[in-house]
Amino acid sequence: MRPSHVLPGRRLRRRGRAGTMLRASVLRRLGRPGARAGARLLEYSGPRHYSSGPLGARDDAGGARAFFTTPIFYVNAAPHIGHLYSALLADALCRHRRLRVPGAAATRFSTGTDEHGLKIQQAAAAAGLAPTELCDRVSAQFQQLFRAAGISSTDFIRTTEARHRIAVQHFWGLLEARGLLYKGLYEGWYCASEECFLPEAKVTRQPSSSGGSCPVSLESGHPVSWTKEENYIFRLSQFREPLQRWLRGDPQAITPEPFHRAVLQWLEEELPDLSVSRKSSHLHWGIPVPGDDSQTIYVWLDALVNYLTVIGYPNAEFKSWWPTTSHIIGKDILKFHAIYWPALLLGAGMSPPHRIYVHSHWTVCGQKMSKSLGNVVDPRTCLDRYTVDGFRYFLLRQGVPNWDCDYYDEKVVKLLDSELADALGGLLNRCTAQRINPSGTYPVFCTACFPSEAGLVGPSVRAQAEDYALVNAVATLPRQVAEHYENFQIYKALEAVSSCVRQTNGFVQRHAPWKLSWESPVDAPWLGTVLHVALECLRVFGTLLQPVTPSLADKLLSRLGVSATERGLGELCFLPRFYGHPCPFEGRRLGPETGLLFPRLDQSRAWLVKAHRT
Ligand code: MSP
């Protein structure tokens, strides 16, 4: 895990021994100087220009295709909840999109493992394993976790696969052919744990066990080593202006906005060329530079190309998917995705990604999660304890992209008990219980009791001002939720649903249907209307919760008798009877009783008592 980068305003120093990348003064050009690439780069003139380029029209959210990606995960250690969070965000976005635009061919979603590089090479050596053994073992753990957590990816890539090697080497060949690579001498600090170069200002000294001191990364505390070698260099410096044009022309390219601003600020500063290979004698665990086995391709270049590999690159099929790509990433890898990757893409003649959605990190009891602190939260234990839907709901409801979030067990229990067990489960129970709804149907809505025009008075009118407020809130909820998804604020979407659930409980409480009688000709139409409205609200909640809690939503919708073909967002027409249209559910039998929607995780659970004691 890499440390968070300081946002915004991080300065790359011009002076000092090493830059994050390369300084001209430490580069001695060797071999052929490499053709200038400026002429071709200048062809890029902003987002509108590239959208009509050879890759085809840009496909916005409403278009036919969308491609979501998670970062690919390092296999040096087992997955933790931060990794699962990255994958869940992508999964929820992707599932929400599938509800809007159905059809298996419309949406792709990739995840995978990042298996090359010094970090993995060293981790395997430390574990006494061959790198392939370590990769197979940990990659399988990620795959099992994602399967268990309901991550609905359509591809899982491992960078050690042959298809990926072909893609990376092809991509490299393109950069070389376009004159964007040259050979130079690099010297500077390298942090294997972060797989990146660090400027002098980001390095400090820490006492070592031998009594002396050793250089470490200021942010992460991980050891760094001085590297001096001849490498291939990418002409990153030439892309500063094209990158600025891209970001200024597309203010939503990086979301949330503070991250967009931070990247623009980084681009105000020097953007030195980037070393993109290592000596194979130093780094053998990677993809060799085509035609030069003495060099291994830099792991970040290797890793980033995974996004192309999974859509078939270099075969032409990738062209219909690439322009629709949305990357979901943690803030620590923003620079790699928002500067290096778009520059590499532009260099290879492609457009930058459509969207980069950035999230912050999970800490544990106020501290960064780390193996050495022994506070890494195992996501498999959490899925077992809180159920898959419960833990998905917790992470997505509590995780705020703009800020770090703190994890502790009591918080999970409190949230799930109050929002899923009591509020949502209780509401379903109240409207479907045999005692209150003996016919087990979706009752009839009475327009005389609840006329569409607010403020009417008459003997049969029972609806009050707050009831109209509820109808209005739930009617606008799907749009609101969609906007929150578009802005990568899934927690706000869930907050909005939760607030409507509370309002609906208030509605039921206000009209106390348990005090009304089906036998009374005065009560019965209103009793049916109260239940009808509440069930309609529940149908909306169930539909909107599908991307986050798929099984729980399925249970809820099945109990309401909503069939599989009636669960898309296109079909979600709330309370049509109120607006004078027929309702397909009215009078329909409810689905079979399936027990509690979400059983309370009450404090008596053995593991929780144990967690309190320790
Ligand atoms: N292998 C690179 C990514 C290459 S993508 C071309 C990498 N891997 S990682 O395993 O270190 O991180 C993968 C993702 O997990 C990143 O998005 C990172 O931000 C995320 N997280 C790692 N720790 C995290 C938390 N504590 N909290 C939330 N997400 C965190 O970087």
Residue carrying the six token digits 């060949």:
173
- Indicate whether 614 pLDDT > 80: no
**What pLDDT sits at residue 36?**
37
Task: Give the pLDDT band (50/70/90) at residue 39.
Answer: very low
**What pLDDT sits at residue 455?**
80
**What pLDDT sits at residue 210?**
77
In the chain, % of residues over pLDDT 70: 88
- In which element (H, E) is residue 196 found? strand 196-198
Instruction: Using alpha carbons, select from 527, 509, 529 the residue that is nearest to residue 517.
Output: 527
**What pLDDT sits at residue 366?**
86
- Indicate whether 46 pLDDT > 70: no
**What pLDDT sits at residue 194?**
86
**What pLDDT sits at residue 372?**
75
Phi, psi for 99 (deg, rounded to 5): -70, -30
**What pLDDT sits at residue 12?**
26
- Indicate whether 55 pLDDT > 70: no
- In which element (H, E) is residue 230 found? strand 225-234
**What pLDDT sits at residue 157?**
98
The span from the CA of 425 to the CA of 328, in Å, is: 32
Nearest CA, atom 29, ligand 1: 82
Task: Give the pLDDT band (50/70/90) at residue 514.
Answer: very high
The CA 199 to ligand 1 mean position distance, Å, reads: 22
The CA 489 to ligand 1 mean position distance, Å, reads: 19
**What pLDDT sits at residue 370?**
80
The CA 332 to ligand 1 mean position distance, Å, reads: 7
The answer to whether the CB of 396 falls within 8 A of the CB of 149 is no
**What pLDDT sits at residue 64?**
82
Task: Give the pLDDT band (50/70/90) at residue 608.
Answer: low
**What pLDDT sits at residue 222?**
87
The CA 149 to ligand 1 mean position distance, Å, reads: 17
Which SS3 state, helix, strand or coil, does residue 231 take? strand
Mean pLDDT across the stretch 566-583? 95
**What pLDDT sits at residue 368?**
87
* 363 CA closest ligand 1 atom index: 26
The CA 163 to ligand 1 mean position distance, Å, reads: 23
Task: Give the pLDDT band (50/70/90) at residue 54.
Answer: very low
Candidate from 254-258, 314-318, 606-610 with smallest mean pLDDT: 606-610
Task: Give the pLDDT band (50/70/90) at residue 336.
Answer: very high
The span from the CA of 425 to the CA of 597, in Å, is: 5
Report pLDDT digits (tens) over 147-175.
999 999 999 999 999 999 999 999 999 99
The CA 160 to ligand 1 mean position distance, Å, reads: 19
Candidate from 10-24, 118-132, 428-442, 557-571 with smallest mean pLDDT: 10-24
- Indicate whether 49 pLDDT > 70: no
Residue carrying the six token digits 């050596």:
125
- Indicate whether 97 pLDDT > 90: yes
Report pLDDT digits (tens) over 246-259.
999 999 999 999 99
Nearest CA, atom 9, ligand 1: 73
Which SS3 state, helix, strand or coil, does residue 2 take? coil
* 73 CA closest ligand 1 atom index: 10
**What pLDDT sits at residue 33?**
33
In the chain, % of residues over pLDDT 90: 77
**What pLDDT sits at residue 208?**
81
Nearest CA, atom 12, ligand 1: 73
**What pLDDT sits at residue 531?**
98
Question: Which pairing describes strands 325-330 and 66-74: parallel, antiparallel, or unpaired?
Answer: parallel
The binding-site residues of ligand 1, defined as CB within 6 angstroms of any ligand atom, are 1-2, 71-74, 82-83, 85-86, 114, 303-304, 306, 329-330, 332-333, 361-362, 369
Report pLDDT digits (tens) over 420-456.
999 999 999 999 999 999 999 999 999 999 999 888 8
Q: Cα–Cα distances in Å, from 162 out to 157, 256, 266, 306, 361? A: 11, 36, 35, 12, 33
Task: Give the pLDDT band (50/70/90) at residue 199.
Answer: confident
Instruction: Using alpha carbons, select from 256, 194, 215, 277 the residue that is nearest to residue 1.
Output: 194
Nearest CA, atom 6, ligand 1: 304
The answer to whether the CB of 114 falls within 8 A of the CB of 159 is yes
Residue carrying the six token digits 């050891």:
223
The answer to whether the CB of 302 falls within 8 A of the CB of 288 is no
- Indicate whether 610 pLDDT > 60: no
Task: Give the pLDDT band (50/70/90) at residue 603.
Answer: low
Report pLDDT digits (tens) over 205-254.
988 877 788 999 988 888 899 988 899 999 999 999 999 999 999 999 99
The CA 403 to ligand 1 mean position distance, Å, reads: 15
Number of neighbouring beta carbons within 10 Å of residue 193: 21
Task: Give the pLDDT band (50/70/90) at residue 555.
Answer: very high
**What pLDDT sits at residue 8?**
27
The CA 470 to ligand 1 mean position distance, Å, reads: 40
Mean pLDDT across the stretch 517-539? 97
Ligand 1 pocket test, pick from 1, 118, 298 with the greatest ligand atom count within 8 Å of Cβ, gives: 1
**What pLDDT sits at residue 318?**
96
Average pLDDT in the chain: 88
Report pLDDT digits (tens) over 269-285.
999 999 999 999 999 99
Mean pLDDT across the stretch 191-201? 87
The CA 73 to ligand 1 mean position distance, Å, reads: 6
Contacts of 570 (CB under 8 A, 6+ apart): 100, 102
The CA 45 to ligand 1 mean position distance, Å, reads: 32
Q: Is 197 exposed, middle or buried (0-12, 13-18, 19+ CB in 10 A)?
A: buried
Task: Give the pLDDT band (50/70/90) at residue 40.
Answer: very low
* 74 CA closest ligand 1 atom index: 10
Ligand 1 pocket test, pick from 113, 114, 327, 403 with the greatest ligand atom count within 8 Å of Cβ, gives: 114
Nearest CA, atom 25, ligand 1: 82
